[in-house]
Amino acid sequence: MKPAEFYMRDRTLHPPAHHPGYKTSVPRSPRMPLLTMHQTPSEITGPTFGHNDFGPLDNDLISNFNHGGDPVGERIILHGRVLDENGRPVPNTLVEIWQANASGRYRHKKDIYLGALDPNFGGCGRTLTDSDGYYYFRTIKPGPYPWLNYVNSWRPRHIHVSVFGTSFSQRLITQLYFEGDPLIPLCPIVQTIPDPEAVQRLIAVMDLNASVPMDCLAYKFDIVLRGRRSTLFENRLEGN
Amino acid sequence: MVQKLDYLKETTSQTAGPYVHIGLAPGAAGFSIFERELGWDIAGPDAPGERIRVEGLVIDGTGAPVKDVLLEVWQADANGVYAHPEDPRSAGVAPGFRGWGRVITNFDTGLWGFDTIRPGATPGRGRDVQAPHLNLWLVARGINIGLNTRMYFPEDAALHGADPVLRTIEQRDRVATLIATKTGPGAYRFDIRLQGQGETVFIDV
């Protein structure tokens, strides 16, 4: 059997482009339906990355912006696996994360929130999954912060996650939330998700076994990318 | 109860938000952290082919440029080969050619641009030939799930009628939204309209 196309994306699991409760989506959402197509080699290929692309501290957000000390905040390990819909691990794929610091402040020239910047926290990391699809980062639990969607909207604590998979059609950006955060159901961006179970799958779970005694807690977050069909009959390869 | 299918469900998309640069282009966010950022070398200096520059704006439904968008491009080399093991010709991909790039906009104007080489035609399904194209994916604050589209080249009009994506577009005047404008030797302009008059065709890949 040879791998063939990726499964059709189940759009009922994803937010619609236009969701009036998330105001910025209103002028930025296409109104025409997406064009339906059969995948070609352009969609079943995608970029590959190697260890030469990265530095040794790229997945350690506690150390990768050290300017004389560690960042403040709750030290955590974030770990999990990248799998496809068939449950198979996705090895050697790039996972990138970015986040606010413990005060809810981003190190970005456009962020003007009064929460303090942390001189020792950059807020970004990247890594390749190993041969079992496993990834891990060390970081600080990000703080919640306010934003002007409604006058008193707050983002729950979250980490942005970008994943590649093996093809450009698996490309995905999401956000992970933290177990027990009361802001999750109140967030207009979370509320764009039509399926309540899909929201639950974005919540990282506290993982005491993976924590390091007297050092840091751990949260586990698995990521699922589109799976793909196998070509069962060679004479139908590539469709006709 | 019938048997159960045990497929996992795809992780749900969430917007990349306004601070996407921190993670994916930290230099643009205003700080230096990695020795090398990813996505600036689509086609290394040794890759043969016509050198081109593509620029454009992403424009929202009110006509305003989107100044915090991030785009990624994925393309074949000048011979139409993808730098990916599943392209049967990938052993012969041009030296120094990655085919993947990532760009952000100028925060003041919204203009984005990247330098690359003009891709060759690529095989489609069966006997199809795909006209030379760039595969584009864009994310931003307010975009709930990344948008896929393609950019084609105006010189290839003779190939566009048979292209498996372009020929599928029912409203024929929308085909033009996927074809760049040539603005000079090796220079192309490709504006992407998210909504309204001239809305770009986005693709469910």
- Would you list the DSSP string of B107-159? TTT--EEEEEEPPPPEE-STT-EEPSEEEEEEE-TT-SSPEEEEEE-GGGHHH
Q: Give the minimum alpha-carbon distance from B16 to chain A in angstroms, rounded to a whole number.
A: 6
pLDDT of res. B98: 96
Q: For chain B, percent helix, then strand, then coil, each to nearest 5?
A: 15, 25, 60
Q: Give the minimum alpha-carbon distance from A222 to chain B in angstroms, rounded to a whole number.
A: 9
pLDDT category, B66, cuts 50, 70, 90? very high
pLDDT of res. B36: 79
pLDDT category, B178, cuts 50, 70, 90? very high
Whether the per-residue pLDDT at B12 is higher than 50: the answer is yes
Which residues of chain A have a pLDDT value below 70? 1-2, 232-240
Average pLDDT over residues B53-63: 98
How far lies A209's CA from each of A5, A203, A212, A220, in Å? 38, 18, 8, 10
Q: Is B8–A17 a contact, with Cβ atoms under 8 angstroms apart?
A: no
pLDDT of res. A230: 85
pLDDT of res. A237: 42
* Residue A84 DSSP SS3: strand
* Residue B96 DSSP SS3: coil
Determine the Cα–Cα distance for residues A99 and A104; give it in Å rounded to an integer.
9
Q: Give the minimum alpha-carbon distance from B86 to chain A in angstroms, rounded to a whole number.
A: 7
DSSP code, position A211: S
Active site residue A160: yes
Determine the Cα–Cα distance for residues A22 and A20; give it in Å rounded to an integer.
5
Determine the Cα–Cα distance for residues A220 and A207; give it in Å rounded to an integer.
6
pLDDT digit string, tens, across residues B90-106 = 999 999 999 999 999 99
Active site residue A155: yes
Percent of chain B past pLDDT 70, that is, above it, reads: 100
Active site residue A67: no
Determine the Cα–Cα distance for residues B155 and B118; give it in Å rounded to an integer.
11
pLDDT of res. A240: 35
pLDDT digit string, tens, across residues B100-130 = 999 999 999 999 999 999 999 999 998 999 9
pLDDT of res. A236: 45
Whether the per-residue pLDDT at B71 is higher than 80: the answer is yes
* Residue A127 DSSP SS3: strand
How far lies A5's CA from each of A90, B53, B201, in Å? 16, 32, 22
Active site residue A106: yes
Reference B122, options B169, B168, B171, B162; nearest CA is B162
Q: Is B135–A42 a contact, with Cβ atoms under 8 angstroms apart?
A: yes
Q: Is A40–B142 a contact, with Cβ atoms under 8 angstroms apart?
A: no
Q: Show the domains of chain B with their CATH numbers.
A: 28-193 (2.60.130.10)
Determine the Cα–Cα distance for residues A106 and A100; give it in Å rounded to an integer.
4
Whether the per-residue pLDDT at B64 is higher than 60: the answer is yes
pLDDT of res. B31: 85
Q: Which of B31, B98, B200 sits opposite A47 (nearest CB)?
A: B98
Instruction: Using a CB–CB cutoff of 8 Å, tell me whether A135 touches chain B.
Output: no
Q: Which of A13, A22, A111 sits opposite B9 (nearest CB)?
A: A13
Instruction: Using a CB–CB cutoff of 8 Å, tell me whether A96 touches chain B.
Output: yes
Whether the per-residue pLDDT at B81 is higher than 50: the answer is yes
In chain B, positions 61-100, which contact chain A (CB-CB < 8 Å)? 61-62, 64, 66, 68, 72, 74, 76, 82-87, 98-100
Instruction: Using a CB–CB cutoff of 8 Å, tell me whether A63 touches chain B.
Output: no
Reference A157, options A174, A181, A138; nearest CA is A181
Q: Phi and psi of B171, rounded to 5°?
A: -85, 105
Instruction: Give Cβ neighbours of residue A63 (< 8 Å, ≥ 6 apart).
Output: A57, A70, A138
